Amino acid sequence: MTNIKQIEENLKREAKRLLESKEVSVVLAYARGYDEHHPLPYAARTAGEVGNLIFNEYCTYNLARYLTKYPPKTKIAIAVKAADSRAVVQLIQEEKVKKEDLVILGIPFIGMKDPKTGEEIDQKTTCHMANPVLYDILLGEEIRDAGAGSPYDVLAELEAMDQAARWSFWEKEFSKCIRCFACRKACPMCYCDPCFMDASRPRWADKSPTADGNLMYHLTRFYHLAGRCIDCGECSRACPMDIPLHLFHKKMAKECETMFGQAAGMKIDDKPVMVNYGNQDSDEMLK
Amino acid sequence: MIGSKGSLNADHCEKEKVVFKKITLEKLGDLVSALKEKGPLYAPVRDGKAVNFQKITKTADVTLDFYNTVFSPKFVFFPQTEDLIRYTLQKEGAQAEPVPIAASPSVILGVRPCDAKSFEIMDRHFLGAGIIDPYWKNRRDNTVVIGYAFDPAAPPDPADFYNTVGIHAADTEGSDVFMVRKDGELLLKGITKKGESLLKGLAVLDAASAQDEAFFDETIRKDRGVKTRFTEITDTAIAAKLVGSFEKQEIWEEMTASCIGCGTCTFVCPTCYCFDINDETLFRKGARKRFWDACMFTDFTLEASGHNPRPRIFQRYRQKVCHKYSYHVTKYGCISCVGCGRCTRSCPVNIDIFSIVEKVANL
Ligand code: SF4
Ligand code: SF4
Ligand code: SF4
Ligand code: SF4
């Protein structure tokens, strides 16, 4: 695995080149925050600003979140780790961004750390891939041995529960939700404007955080992300109440993969499973 | 000052005695039980990775081993959701009853100095703005705040900057009782009359010695050694700077570029007080509720016409900072931020209000 300092150097070099040559008008990457352990997502617009860029193991944030904020046709370079690259691919599939407007700077890396807890982010909380699935420039050597294990292993405990226990697990977790909406705002795939939760006519859920309304919010959000969640884990990391949202998303992703033989955001030519129909698709969900 | 010698004031001719007590940490459970008997008790509880104030049901849940809570204790006075009126819709009109304001005396144990100060700042808005908020007032009047000094030997969290707004690690201001940890003991001193009478009524406490008192005073003196992030600002100067920066859109856009516009920073904040009121009805039964709202949300300023005066994130963040560091100074005479660092710690993308204020101060 390429040394993280080297990745940072490569990132700066490429960012500088891309901005100087005017190939892109903005580079989405990271800058120093209030200390090293708390980097900021950062948009460099001039070669002069490239000096602010950093990359270290706390640069967890999925920058694909910001892509949909730019006007169409903006030429953007974006730094992506494995899961982030899947978000970019998924956004391309959903025609939210165009590949020709992007320069994807891939970062192969294992060992990212949660800035809040310092814990390593592993397959439990993210998709357990080491190499970006799509990139124009790779900022480090491809990682050959990403280690064993599936991103779905972490579901074992939940899957072992019976239906009633699972229901009460989620009821308890959702009752903690304070509706700060950090989960949807941090999610690269939650780009709807307005979000159904912000609609006042009709109103889909109570505005105050009641248990029923929370259930409405989360179940709807989970279903809206079916076959689209790329398992970056940003939602769980953003949540101030430590609600393990990624577990539900992973479960959905696993079901989708089993039923439709396709994981989200893996190939640019795939169609999102929920908008595509194939004769071989499972009928499981109709039963 | 309470306990000062030789007061000539006729009302205080009898020398007042400081109420000063202690208890060993092993007996924390006894203290908690005794406080619980007086009414609802709110204290820090560890839940998973986080410590937060909770209404105590089990004595053993209380912990005093924490730096600061993720959420501020403001919810004790200003809960996230509360029913103001409950009603049943009828064929014509409705049958409605206001919900009585709960008035049982309660105690908050373990409030850090910055948070204790936040209650006084919030008082200016909820009590001093010409309209008294009966919900806030009632709970404030009936609650005893037991403050808890930060450990003067431990470094502060890197996100904290309470020194910048004139608060120190063992400030007693805003507390009714103030608590300092001495090895295996807790020293408790009455700061207000309310606090003194609470302490007097707690038989589980032991009398403290002169040595304990010296330790207590020393801790308070030593708190100047706990240095959080600091930048030199005065209320009026920063207020004016912010007004001057308002039109400088590029600066605000740049400083807030990574903000995703969630409400986390405002919900964890001890001095954010915005709320919304809504009727929520299900099968003809419902309640008029008030609940926290946040200037960071898109629909906060959305008008019925569809027009939104603050459609962009930089405008909303600018409002947040201007409210705390400018409008609040003009309206209520003080900054409404206590530098607790919560917003920065909880921000999903590490936006740091201190860096932003510092930048504006140096424009
Ligand atoms: S981030 Fe957590 S608390 Fe906030 S809305 Fe999402 S689940 Fe609820
Ligand atoms: S739902 Fe969570 S894990 Fe899935 S894409 Fe969104 S933020 Fe990432
Ligand atoms: S704005 Fe931030 S630092 Fe200031 S009081 Fe609120 S949470 Fe604390
Ligand atoms: S500053 Fe951080 S916590 Fe506040 S709205 Fe922006 S992203 Fe959310």
Q: Quick one: A133 and A164 in the same domain?
A: no
Domain count, chain B: 2
Q: Quick one: B219 and B261 in the same domain?
A: no
Q: Give the number of the atom of ligand 2 that is nearest the alpha carbon of residue A187.
A: 7
CB A169 within 8 A of CB A209: no
What pLDDT sits at residue B219? 94
A210 in a structural domain: yes
Q: Do strands A53-54 and A40-44 pair parallel, antiparallel, or not at all (unpaired)?
A: unpaired
Q: Quick one: B199 and B306 in the same domain?
A: no
Q: Give the number of the atom of ligand 3 that is nearest the alpha carbon of residue B338.
A: 5
Q: Quick one: A264 and A167 in the same domain?
A: yes
Residue ending a domain, among B223, B245, B269, is B223
Handedness of CA B278, A245, B346, B50 (dihedral sign): positive
Half-sphere exposure of A26 (CA within 13 A, CB side): 18
Q: Quick one: A157 and A121 in the same domain?
A: no
The per-residue pLDDT of chain B, averaged, comes to 93
CB contact under 8 A, A181 and B80: no
Shortest Cα–Cα distance, A135 to chain B (Å): 23
What ligand has the least distance to the C-alpha of A238?
1
- Give dist(CA B15, CA B2) in Å, integer: 9
pLDDT at B10 over 70: no
Give the nearest chain A residue to B51 (CA atoms).
A241
A275 vs B: CB within 8 A:
no
Question: Length of chain B, please?
Answer: 363
Tell me the DSSP string of chain A: ---HHHHHHHHHHHHHHHHHTTS-SEEEEEE--SSTTS-EEEEE-SGGGGGGEE--TT----GGGGGGGSPTT--EEEEE-HHHHHHHHHHHHTTSS-GGGEEEEE---S--B-TTT-PBP-TTTS----S-SS-SEESSPPPS---S--TTGGGHHHHHS-HHHHHHHHHHHHHT-----HHHHH-TT---SS-GGG--SS--S-SS--HHHHHHHHHHHHHHTTTT-----HHHHH-TT---HHHHHHHHHHHHHHHHS--TTS-TT---GGG---TT---GGG-
CB contact under 8 A, A208 and B264: no
* Domain range for B125: 19-223
Contacting residues of B for A33, CB less than 8 Å apart: 350, 352
CB contact under 8 A, A178 and B267: yes
A3 vs B: CB within 8 A:
no
Q: Quick one: A13 and A121 in the same domain?
A: yes
- Give dist(CA B25, CA B30) in Å, integer: 10
Q: What is the pLDDT along chain A (287 residues), one digit of tens a residue?
A: 899 999 999 999 999 999 999 999 999 999 999 999 999 999 999 999 999 999 999 999 999 999 999 999 999 999 999 999 999 999 999 999 999 999 999 999 999 999 988 999 988 888 989 999 999 999 999 999 877 789 999 999 999 999 999 999 999 999 999 999 999 999 999 999 889 998 877 888 888 898 989 999 999 999 999 999 999 999 999 999 999 999 999 999 999 999 999 999 999 999 998 888 887 787 777 77
B2 in a structural domain: no
Token pair in block for residue B92: 């014509």
A24 in a structural domain: yes
User: Ligand 1: which residue has its CA nearest to atom 8?
Assistant: A177
Q: Quick one: B218 and B243 in the same domain?
A: no
What pLDDT sits at residue A115? 92
Stretch 19-58 of chain A: residues touching chain B, C-beta under 8 Å: 33-35, 38-43
* Domain range for A101: 4-138
Q: Quick one: B107 and B155 in the same domain?
A: yes
The per-residue pLDDT of chain A, averaged, comes to 94
Nearest Cβ partner for A207 among B263, B278, B350: B278
- Give dist(CA A139, CA B339) in Å, integer: 39
A185 vs B: CB within 8 A:
yes
ipTM, two decimals, is 0.94
User: Ligand 3: which residue has its CA nearest to atom 2?
Assistant: B343
- Give dist(CA B219, CA B224) in Å, integer: 9
What pLDDT sits at residue A281? 80
Pocket test for ligand 3, best of B337, B350, B352, B354 (most atoms within 8 A of CB): B337
- Give dist(CA A60, CA A264) in Å, integer: 20
CB A41 within 8 A of CB A66: yes
B3 in a structural domain: no
Top residue of B81, B83, B258, B295 to mutate, by most chain A CBs within 10 Å, is B258
Q: Give the number of the atom of ligand 1 that is nearest the alpha carbon of residue A184.
A: 6
Q: Quick one: B106 and B247 in the same domain?
A: no
Beta bridge partners of B82: B290
Ligand 4, CB within 6 Å, residue ranges = B 259-262, 264-265, 296, 347-349, 351
Nearest Cβ partner for A238 among B71, B257, B348: B348
Residue ending a domain, among A138, A169, A201, is A138
Q: Give the number of the atom of ligand 1 that is nearest the alpha carbon of residue B263.
A: 4
- B28-70 per-position pLDDT tens digit: 999 999 999 999 999 999 998 899 999 999 999 999 999 999 9
Shortest Cα–Cα distance, A114 to chain B (Å): 11
Shortest Cα–Cα distance, B164 to chain A (Å): 16
Stretch 84-143 of chain A: residues touching chain B, C-beta under 8 Å: 115-117
Q: Quick one: B208 and B249 in the same domain?
A: no
Q: Quick one: B251 and B182 in the same domain?
A: no
Q: Quick one: B257 and B349 in the same domain?
A: yes
- B72-127 per-position pLDDT tens digit: 999 999 999 999 999 999 999 899 999 998 777 899 999 999 999 999 999 999 99
What pLDDT sits at residue B16? 62
Q: Quick one: B265 and B158 in the same domain?
A: no
Predicted structure pTM score: 0.93
A240 vs B: CB within 8 A:
yes
Give me the torsion for CA of B254, B255, B259, B265, rounded to 10°: -170
Domain count, chain A: 2
User: Ligand 4: which residue has its CA nearest to atom 6?
Assistant: B259
Contacting residues of A for B294, CB less than 8 Å apart: 180
Q: Do strands B81-89 and B94-98 pair parallel, antiparallel, or not at all (unpaired)?
A: antiparallel
